[in-house]
Structure 1
Amino acid sequence: MGKVWKSAKELKESNVRWIDTRFSLQDPNAGKKLYDKGHIAGAIYLDLEKDLSDMNKTNGRHPLPDKDKLKYLFESNGLQYTDHVVIYDQGGMPFAPRAYWMFCFAGFPQVTLVKEGYEELVEMGLEVSTETSSYPASTLILQWNEDILSTREQVKVVSETSNGVLLDARSAERYAGIHEPIDSVAGHIPTARNLDWELLKEDGRFKEAVDVLSEVEAVVKQDEDITVYCGSGVTAAPLYAMLKEAGYPKVKLYVGSYSDWITAYPVDNKLT
């Protein structure tokens, strides 16, 4: 199994760059307020909607920024490929995994999610600061990892040919179209299977991969080509990370997800 999550106790390197991704979908300003109130010393803040999404785009609720915008984001924060990028949020949330996927997409070779949420990190004695961290700008030649990104058209091919598996990370009720609180159309992408991302966590942190493996393997096998999606490409990110932790070799994320799919193609309500 790969090591996606590590405890802060396991971080011995001197080249750690802390990334704070705390956020609230109900209050988009809450994360930055929390950061300003106190964060791990040296951490920069990456906002789900200002940094990890391009909210001016229309392909889904949290669209992926263009590569030039991402490059500028990393360079303006002084990030280097030699850094060990270590990401946290409140704990058991999808925001750090979303950033994790994006750093992997940008080809950063050392990216880790910490098992602990911010409050737990503070209790462990990590140094806290209220100063906004800033670093000299870097210059990056990014090696984009296109193999972990799926587009709407690629997803359509999987849906129509069953050449691969679509995995819906939303609740069973949303997947089945019984309850749809956000999107204008209820259901799921045709042929998709369902694995609720909430099953991956308990008590404010993500479970160990070995503890969810039986539930995961009941839905998808290790040798399948898997594309994960959710409503807007955020809560599918923990599922992506957990599959990688569990040693699944071929996993992609459809960032546009269901909110992008319904703008162009029909949905299904039949349970697979």
Structure 2
Amino acid sequence: MTDNSLIISSEWLVANTANPQVVIIDCRFSLADPELGEKQYQESHIPGAFYLDLNRDIASAVGAHGGRHPLPNIEELADKLSAIGINSAETLVVAYDDSRLAFASRLWWLLRYMGHSKVALLDGGFSAWKATGYPVTNTLSEPREGKLVVKLQPDMAVDIEAVKERKDLPNTVLVDSRESERYEGLREPIDPIAGHIPGAVNYPWQAVTDETRKVRSTSEQKQRWAEVETAEEIIVYCGSGVTACVNLLSLEIAGIPDAKLYVGSWSDWCSYQL
């Protein structure tokens, strides 16, 4: 383990790939090429890992509102997770991707939202695993019997009405997780409107990791959030509720729990302005 229980090293994982109490999930994905992640998994992945797709498994179909990556059907996801051997309160889920935790963090947040707190992320992702020379395989993992019982934590998520109601309160901080150019409205490659929610402050999600894509230390995470740590409420958003989860992870590492995800994020907010 690293200096916190939310992030694990390749060294720890390689010693635990056969541990029946550990389930590894590959979350690799590309917004530019939605089929790429699963192709990469089929070609090469950590032995024993299962694959979950951002669009098919950890998000649901896009509607007029609700953002580009609405939450999945929770019971359906629970069934999928049970079928790969996850047991409530017992199984440690280890998620990884190759995008600085962008997609693995979404699964980390979802599992906690569903009441399963035993989940960690692989530091440095698949690239770090390969760089160590640890084994990879193209053998698809066999289903395993498990039972994940959902104990939903509804206070972890907010919708647009809650954001409108609370964003200007003196003890609420609204965090925009996108890169600064998108926050400032200088560039918008995905959504139809540029800019940010009025009153939001900008903490780009990429800063949670360093140049090597490893998660920065606990002390660095604490320093990063020093200006907002006394807030009574922190609401975090991004473009579609995915990369915001990297900031939620950072806040958790920094010892600032209970921050909330605006699930629809900017893609939901700006849909009401069209």
Same fold (TM over 0.5): yes
Partner of 1:168: 176
2:54 to 48, 68, 76: 48
Q: Residue 208 in 1 paired to residue 191 in 2? A: no
Deviations 1:32-52 (A, max 9, x none): 111111111111001111111
| Conserved? CA contact 1:2–1:246, under 8 Å | no
Partner of 2:111: 103
Q: CA deviation at 1:16?
A: 1.1
RMSD, aligned α-carbons: 2.1
Q: Runs in 1 of length 4+ with deviation above 6 angstroms?
A: none
Deviations 1:124-167 (A, max 9, x none): 35442211112234333211122221222211211243452110
Q: Residue 8 in 1 paired to residue 15 in 2? A: no
| Conserved? CA contact 1:63–1:256, under 8 Å | yes
Q: CA deviation at 1:203?
A: 2.0
Given the superposition, is the C-alpha separation of residues 198 and 160 from structure 1 closer, same or farther in structure 2, using an over 3 Å criterion? same
Query: Structure 1 stretch 28-37 or stretch 257-266: which is displaced more?
Result: 257-266
Q: Residue 253 in 1 paired to residue 261 in 2? A: yes
| Conserved? CA contact 1:149–1:252, under 8 Å | yes
How far apart are the structure 1 equivalents of 2:48 and 2:110?
Answer: 20
How far apart are the structure 2 equivalents of 1:57 and 1:70?
Answer: 19
TM-score by length of 2: 0.88
Deviations 1:16-66 (A, max 9, x none): 110101111111111111111111111100111111111244411111112
Query: Structure 1 stretch 231-240 or stretch 132-141: which is displaced more?
Result: 132-141
Gaps of 5+ in 1: 267-272
Given the superposition, is the C-alpha separation of residues 161 and 57 from structure 1 closer, same or farther in structure 2, using an over 3 Å criterion? same
Counterpart of 1:206, as a letter, is V
1:73 to 70, 80, 88: 80
Gaps of 5+ in 2: none
How far apart are the structure 1 equivalents of 2:244 and 2:201?
Answer: 13
| Conserved? CA contact 1:91–1:205, under 8 Å | no
Query: How many matched pairs?
Result: 265
Q: Residue 184 in 1 paired to residue 192 in 2? A: yes
**1:146-161 alignment runs, 5 A limit:** 146-161=154-169
How far apart are the structure 1 equivalents of 2:152 and 2:244?
Answer: 20
Counterpart of 1:177, as a letter, is G
Q: CA deviation at 1:212?
A: 4.0
How far apart are the structure 2 equivalents of 1:230 and 1:91?
Answer: 15
**1:227-246 alignment runs, 5 A limit:** 227-246=235-254
Counterpart of 1:8, as a letter, is S
| Conserved? CA contact 2:222–2:255, under 8 Å | no
Residue aligned with 1:156, SS: helix
Partner of 1:31: 37
Partner of 1:130: 138
| Conserved? CA contact 1:232–1:258, under 8 Å | yes
| Conserved? CA contact 1:162–1:191, under 8 Å | no
| Conserved? CA contact 2:27–2:37, under 8 Å | yes
How far apart are the structure 2 equivalents of 1:227 and 1:104?
Answer: 16
